[in-house]
Every structure is written in structure tokens, then in C-alpha cells.
Amino acid sequence: MKITLRLIFYLVSVIAVAAIGFSFWQAHQEGLRLKNELERRASVIADSLKESIEPLLSRNSPESIKRIVNKFSNRERLIGVSVCDLEGNLLAVSANLELFLNESPKALQDSLQEVARLNSEYGEFVDFGGRLVHMYSIPLAADESSIHVLTLFHDRSYITERVGRIWINSFWRALIQSLLVGLTTLVLIYLSVMTPIKRTTDWIRRLRRGELVEEIDPRHRVLLGPLAGEISKMAKSLGLARIAAEEEARLRQSSESLWTAERLKEFVKVKFGDRPLFAVSNREPYMHFKKGKEIECIVPASGLVTAIEPVLRACGGTWIAQGSGTADRETVDRHDKLRVPPEEPQYVLRRVWVTKEEENGFYHGFANEGLWPLCHIAHTRPIFRAGDWAQYEAVNKKFAEAVLEELEGSKEPCVLIQDYHFALLPRLIKSKRPDARVAIFWHIPWPNPESFGICPWQKEILGGMLGADIIGFHTQFHCNNFMETVDRILESRIDYEHLTVHQANHTTWVKSFPISINFAGTSSSKAANDESRESLLAKYGIQARFMGVGVDRLDYTKGILERFRGIENFLESNPSYIGKFTFVELGAPSRTAIPRYAEFVAEIENEALRINERFKAKNWQPILLLKKHHSHKEIQPFYKAADLCLVTSLHDGMNLVAKEFVSSRDDEAGVLILSKFTGASRELSDSLIINPYDAVETAEAIKTALMMTAEEQGERMRSMREIVKERNIYKWASDLVGELARIRLVRPV
């Protein structure tokens, strides 16, 4: 409060000084204006009298002159008029002026001398017998021998009064303004500064005590925006640190060991020392887009980004990826690099630029119309074009050049290559840097040898991958498929017992590393900002007692059409749930430039429309399709409010949506219905595991989930949460990095 009063005092003082300075200037200007106006008036009257008196002087008519002088003596603010010679001898004088002239003859004499000296009119302001007077004298010429002077005497006291009134009015104006400004400032400071500070202080105090708090209200950030943002980040870090400390203490008591970001950081430091870590992927973790005149940074929706980003945050290093945002070039330095995350930089992002032609062939063509359907075996025919393969090779070489440039000056670097976009990259890097430890993690399934055999460039793909020291898959089943594929296609020595491939004096280890997420769920209490099922559905004009949720890219491998048909079968078999159960599909458009994907989106929309038209009732519909890119913040309320989550992939490497749903359910409620064709089904055995092609089985699982008791839900969810917590992303990274560190590099002879 003292600071506020001091601020108001200084503010009022500055306003008062400014008001006084302005009043002084205004009074001074007004005084000059009035004086100039008085002199002009005196000049006009004097000229008029001169024309009348000079002829009378020539005729020597003093009586007529006296009459004229007395006639003009009653003008406004005119004290009187006198006519005299240069010696001061009065020829005519106003009756009321003669007394003043007798009391102060020197003032008139001085004026006459100036007129004689200048031989022109002369005006001045004098104190005439204690009275403020303006004297204006003008010479009168009757003949050459006789010169007389006409003098006008004006009262100038009104000027002083007018200036005085200006000072008084300015004083009261300044006083009132100061009070109003001070009062307004006090109110504004209280409402816009003190109240937010008080609330923020209370928020920090509650946070320090370990209480559950919501985010700072954006309405309280008007004047404290940057500070509030930093406080929120600090509070989040503090909360995570407290959670980690509590978890660490609990684990010590129970002799458990949990992988955390800090533990991974120390593990990497022990295994690799100062050797740098490099990650390579097609998708970048941060994209910059132009939004009007501003540049906006977003985190793209990607399971790969969700998995890899915590590792780079923990260990630092460099992430090399394709720059695809409209403002990406504007945000990098001359080496195409920038530090990320923007709010708290922890590692370097190196962007590689791919032309539109290269992207069409490399990404849309060979990677997603060829390898993607080939590996997923989801009954979409792979398309292989020689032009696409050429672009795939070209982009892999372009990335290899960027990676090798980054590796310069580093000894035995660790390179983690991500996914099917860069099957050729391990060999390209290893051939130039045999001292590099290279791993490639294949995030999608690996098909059986018969399926993979249709690829025209199967030898080149396998040869490129086998340049790595480690090839990682989500499941042992995919590892086995890969080993059999190599055995069928390439000349090599294969050890099935240790899962190694030896070719051209190089050994590649093939291992399963089930990927996971950064498990953050720890509290069983309900967060203050969680939305209820009712409020979520009310935004779309829907009322329902039960809610299911699905979160997917709109991809034909995710089994979304099969999911909708399972819901239709459920409502057919259980009409009592019509009007009560709504399924929300959060679908992110994906690869819309590929015709098959555009067709698939249309199929999804038509199927949802058909089922909704069949069952739709007032204020209710069975399927709510929300087709847009949703942030994690937007998805979380649906995860937490849903009675069940449907993951019905027809073929998936892991599927992190299943693990995200489990992680979000800190209330230990809800049921996960999971396709047996996902890698996650091998870990989350307490989910309801289904064949997504079987609509009846899907319908029965939905009914089982909705009828399951809270006790059984809790038991299943607790078990799955323990698995996701223990086998988190840091555990995955430690396994991969640990295996890579154990590799014995073969030095070239």
C-alpha cells in the first residue's frame, strides 16, 4: 500500500507541476494578448482623435479641442485624454484626469520626451499615482513651429485581474484533475495490479502448500502478462518437481525404481559421457506458422513427437527434421537451427528443407502410399512408382548430408533415426562415420516376408536399415517378421538366438523396445478445471448419460469404420442405450493430399451420418465426429470424462492413445477397449481386448464396459497405470540407449 501511495503522490506531483507550468504559460500568453489588444485600441482611438484635433490646432480653437477631449473621456477603460506641447503645458485635458497629472507630472514628461526623440507615437505601461495605466502618446502637427502631443490614458488593471483569474482557475483545475487522476489511478492499481497480485500471491501460497490449483485466470494477466506466464511455467515446474520428489520418496520406501527425466539424463551421461545425441525424423517437434503479422509456434499432433520429445528435453542434443511450417525459415539462424522449446530451450532443432516435388514423391508417394499400407496389411493396396522411389532416395541422401554435417567434430556420436521415412539413412551415415552408434526405430509394424516381398526395392530398404547397429520394433513379433524377411531376401548370416544379422563385416542387433509416453498421472483427486461429461456434450447440443471416446488420425489403419459399425451393433442389440450413449470421435485429418485418405475421410463422414440418421433423437445422437486437429489440452477433458475409450486399430505398431487414456485416468475409473492387433494389447492385458473386425464382439465389449462395477474398473485401471508408469518413455529411451552403448564398434581395417 505504501508503494501505491508513493506512486500516486509522484503522479499527482508531476501532474501538478505540469499544470502550474501550463498555467504560467497560459497566463503569460493571455497577458501579452491583452496588452497588444489594448495598444491596438489606443492606436485606433489616437488616430481618430488626431484627425479631429489637428485642424482645430491650426485654427487655434482650444475650446473645441476641450469639447472633443471631454467627449472621448467616457470610453471603456479610458481614464482620460490630454493635449499638451512638448514642454508639458496642457492645452486641453479631461476633467477627471487633471488631478492625476498634477500628482505624477514626471510620467507624462517622460512620455513627451520619448515622442520628441522618436518623432513618432510612443506607448508604455506605468504606475500612475498608484494606479496601473497604459499611456499612449502621438504627435500632433498644426504647423512647423508648434508641435503638440495627444496622450490617451487607459486603465490596465483589468489585465492583472484577468491573468489572476486564469491562475486561480488553473489552480482549481489542476487540483481537481490531480484528485481525479489520483483516485482513478488508485482504483486501477487496485483492480488491475493489486487484486491480480493478491490472487497470484494466494495462488502461489496454495501451490507451495501442495494444494490442487487451477491455472492463473487469463483475466488477471492484463498488466502482468509476461510475469504471469513465467510464474505459471515456474509453478508447473515446481509441481512436477514436487510430484517427482514424492514419487521418489515413495519408491525409496517400497524399494521400487522408476525412470524419470533426471534419471535418464544421468544414465545417458554415464553411458555416453560428453558424446552428443542426435535424433532424426521427418516430423519436427515445433512448427512455426504465420498468423496475420505474428508468428505462432505449435506442437504438431504426432505420436512420434509425443514419444521422442521428452527424451531430447531430458538429454539435450540435436533433433534433425523436415521444416514444413510457413514461417519455419524465418525463425532459424543461418545454419537452419533454433533452440527449443521456445519457452525454455533445452535442445537444438535443425531443419532440413524438402521441395514440394520431393515431398510428393518421398512422403506422400513412396512412404505413405507404398511402405505404410505394405507394413500395416490393412487391405489397402500399396502403390510403388519408380519416380517416388527416386525422390525417397534423394531425400534420404539430403538428410544424410545434414546429419553428417552435424556430426562433424563429435567423437562416437549417438544417432537415433525414427521411422519408415528413413530406411536408407543408417547405411548412408554408417558408411561415412563408422564410429557413430546408429539406431533406427521402426514405429509401424513389420509385415511377414510374403507381404514385404511385393516391394520392388526390398533389398535396398533392408540393406539401408542393416547399416544401423540396432533396429528397434515395438514387439517381438515384428522383430521375428523382420528376421524372417532378411533371411528370405538377403545373403547374410542370421543368429535367431541372439537376433542378430551379420553382413559385410557389420553386425546389426534386432530388438523389441515397446515405446510409451511420459506418464504424468499421480493424483487421484479431480482437478478443479476438469469438465464434466454433461458440459462437454452440451456444447454440441447433446445430452447423454454415457460417453465413449476415440482419438485418432483419420487413417484407414485405425479401424474407425469398424468402430462405428460396432457401435451400431451395440445400439441394435441394446436399444435401452439409445438416447443414453454417445461416442465422441476426435479425428485429426491426415495426409489429405493422398487420394485414398481423402476417400476414407468421406467414408467416415458418410458412415457417421448414416448411423446418426438411423438412431438420432431429440438432443441426442450416437456418434459425434469432431474432425480437426486437437491439442492435448483439448483431448484431456474427453479422456477424463469418458466411460470408455475405443482403440480399434486394424494393425498398429503400439498405439499411444491407449496409454494416454490410461495415464489420464487418475480417478482410476473408465474402461479401455483395445484391438488385439495393437502392440499395446501385449502390455495392457487388463483392457477389454477385441477383434475390431468383429462388430458383435465390439458391441459386447461396449456393453461390458458400461455395466462394469466401479471396483472392477479401479482394479483394471490401477494395474494398467502401474504398467504405463513403470514402462514409461524414459524407460524406453534408457533401454534403447543402453543397448546402443553396449554395442562394440568394429573399427575398419
Three-state secondary structure of 516-570? CCCCCCCCCCCCCCCCCHHHHHHCCCCCCCEEEEEEEECCHHHCHHHHHHHHHHH
- The average pLDDT across 92-115 equals 75
Helix axes 225-254, 195-208, angle to 10 degrees: 10
State how far the Cα of 68 lies from the Cα of 77, in Å rounded to an integer: 17
Q: Measure the CA–CA gap between 125 and 160, rounded to whole angstroms.
A: 12
pLDDT at position 492 over 70: yes
- Residue 219's pLDDT is what? 54
Q: Is residue 35 part of a domain?
A: yes
- Let me know: does 103 contact 116? Beta carbons within 8 Å: no
Average pLDDT taken over every residue of the chain: 86
> 518-550: b or e for each residue (b if 16 or more CB lie within 10 Å)?
bbebbeeeeeeeebebeebbeeeebebebbbbb
The rounded distance, in Å, linking the Cα atoms of 600 and 350 is 34
Kindly report the backbone phi and psi dihedral angles of residue 280, in degrees, each rounded to the nearest multiple of 5, phi listed first: -130, 130
In terms of domains, do 603 and 459 share one?
A: no
**In whole angstroms, what is the distance from residue 301 CA to residue 415 CA?**
24
Q: Give the pLDDT score at 225.
A: 55
pLDDT for the residue numbered 276: 85
481: buried, middle or exposed (CB in 10 Å: 19+, 13-18, 0-12)? buried
Q: How confident is the model at residue 414 (pLDDT cuts 50, 70, 90)?
A: very high
How many domains are there within the chain? 3
> What number is the average pLDDT over the span 344-368?
95
Report how far residue 582's alpha carbon sits from residue 575's, in angstroms, rounded to the nearest whole number: 13
Together in a domain, 551 and 499: no
Same-domain pairing of 430 and 468: yes
In percent, the amount of the chain with pLDDT more than 90 equals 51
Residue 8 and residue 233: Cα distance in Å, rounded?
32
Please, what sign has the CA dihedral across residues 355, 356, 359, 360?
negative
Side-chain-facing half-sphere of 561: CA atoms under 13 Å:
14
Is residue 117 pLDDT above 50, yes or no?
yes
The pLDDT of residue 267 = 87
d(C-alpha 163, C-alpha 132), whole Å:
14
The 8-class DSSP code of residue 617 comes to: B
What pLDDT, on the 0 to 100 scale, is given for residue 525?
Answer: 41
DSSP helix/strand/coil, 277: strand
**CA trace torsion 734, 739, 740, 746 (10° rounding):** 170
Helix (H) or strand (E) holding 631: none
The mean per-residue pLDDT over the stretch 401-422 comes to: 94
Average pLDDT of 605-621? 95
Cα 399 to Cα 286, 350, 352, distances in angstroms: 18, 11, 7
Alpha-carbon distance of 437 to 133, in angstroms, equals 104
Q: Is 570 exposed, middle or buried (0-12, 13-18, 19+ CB in 10 A)?
A: buried
Instruction: Kindly list the distances between the CA atom of residue 644 and the CA atoms of 102, 172, 189, 539, in Å, as whole numbers in the listed order.
Output: 114, 72, 49, 20
By C-alpha distance, which of 608, 670, 604 is closest to 636? 670
Q: Which residues contact 111 (CB under 8 A, 6 or more apart)?
A: 122, 124, 135, 137, 149, 151
**Quick check: 148 pLDDT over 90?**
no
Mean pLDDT, rounded, for 677-688? 96
Domain membership of residue 651 (yes or no) is: yes
Same domain, 565 and 501: no
> Which residue is listed with cell 542370421?
494
Q: Calculate mean pLDDT across residues 446-456.
A: 95
Whether 502 and 537 share a structural domain: no
- CB of 692 closer than 8 Å to CB of 562: yes
CA distance 453 to 457: 9
Q: Which of 25, 11, 26, 1 is nearest to 177 (CA)?
A: 11
Q: Which residue type does 107 have?
A: A
Can you name the residues that pair with 627 across neighbouring β-strands? Answer: 587
What are the cell numbers at 73?
Answer: 473621456
Give a three-class secondary structure readout of 117-163.
HHCCCEEEEEEECCEEEEEEEEEEEEECCEEEEEEEEEECHHHHHHH
pLDDT at 622 over 70: yes
Q: What is the DSSP string of 578-596?
A: TTTEEEEEEEE---TTSHH
DSSP 8-state class, residue 620: B
Give the pLDDT of residue 514. 94
CB–CB of 595/731 below 8 Å? no
Cis ω for the linkage preceding 373 (within 30 of 0): no
- List the domain range (segments joined by +) for residue 681: 533-727
What three-state secondary structure class fits 648?
coil
Percent of the chain at pLDDT > 70 equals 88
Model pLDDT, residue 369: 95
pLDDT for position 535: 93
Task: Name the DSSP class of 361.
Answer: I
**In which band, very low, low, confident or very high, does the pLDDT at 249 lie, cut at 50, 70 and 90?**
low
Same domain, 271 and 387: yes
Cβ within 8 Å of residue 488, ≥6 positions away: 449, 453
- The answer to the question of residue 241 being in a domain is no
514-531 pLDDT tens trace: 999 988 754 434 444 578
Q: What is the pLDDT of residue 254?
A: 46
Q: CA nearest 103: which of 153, 156, 53, 49?
A: 153
Half-sphere exposure of 737 (CA within 13 A, CB side): 28
CATH number at residue 155: 3.30.450.20
Among the candidates 161, 178, 208, a domain finishes at: 161
Look up the CATH number of the domain holding residue 652.
Answer: 3.40.50.2000
State whether 497 and 613 are in the same domain. Answer: no
Q: What is the mean pLDDT of residues 518-545?
A: 76
Does the residue 521 lie in any domain?
no
Per-residue confidence at 658, pLDDT binned at 50, 70, 90?
A: very high
Instruction: Say whether both 547 and 663 belong to one domain.
Output: yes
Do 188 and 19 meet the contact criterion of CB atoms below 8 Å apart? Answer: no
Residues 570 and 666 in one domain: yes
Q: Is the pLDDT of residue 15 over 80?
A: no
Domain termination site, one of 478, 512, 546: 512
Over residues 169-224, the pLDDT tens digits come to 877 877 787 778 778 877 777 777 777 777 777 777 776 665 656 666 555 555 55
Q: Are strands 90-93 and 347-352 parallel, antiparallel or unpaired?
A: unpaired
In a domain, 522, yes or no: no
The answer to whether residue 200 is domain-embedded is no
Name the helix (H) or strand (E) containing 223: none
The predicted-structure confidence for 83-98, as pLDDT tens digits, reads as follows 888 777 788 888 777 7
Q: What is the pLDDT of residue 573?
A: 96
Residues 569, 615 within the same domain: yes
> Please, what's the b/e burial string for 115-129 (b: 16 or more CB within 10 A of its CB; e: otherwise)?
beeeeebbbeebebe
pLDDT for residue 472 is more than 90: yes
CB within 8 Å of 506: residues ≥ 6 apart? 430, 466, 467, 746
Span 454-470, pLDDT tens digits:
999 999 999 999 999 99
- Looking at the fold, whether 556 and 649 belong to one and the same domain comes out as yes
Which range has the worst mean pLDDT, 5-9, 26-30, 509-513, 585-589?
5-9
Strands 146-155 and 131-143, by their bridges, are antiparallel
User: In the numeric block, which cell numbers belong to residue 65?
Assistant: 479641442
Same structural domain, 542 and 664: yes
Distance CA 115, CA 140 (A): 11
Give the model's confidence band at 329: pLDDT under 50 very low, under 70 low, under 90 confident, else very high: very high
CA distance 196 to 223: 9
What pTM, to 2 d.p., does this model score?
A: 0.69
- Cell 563429435 identifies what position? 410
Whole-angstrom Cα distance, residue 203 to residue 213?
Answer: 7
Domain contains 82: yes
Which of 133, 161, 189 finishes a domain?
161
Q: Which of 177-191, 313-327, 655-669 has the lowest mean pLDDT?
A: 177-191
Q: How far apart are CA 731 and CA 260, in angstroms?
A: 8
Q: Which residues contact 379 (CB under 8 A, 6 or more apart)?
A: 650
Identify which of 145-154, 254-263, 458-467, 736-745 has the greatest average pLDDT. Answer: 458-467
Predicted local distance difference test score (pLDDT) of residue 218:
54
The residues facing 80 across adjacent strands are 153
- What does the pLDDT read at residue 321? 96
Answer yes or no: is 220 within a domain. no
Is pLDDT at 335 greater than 70 in this prediction? yes
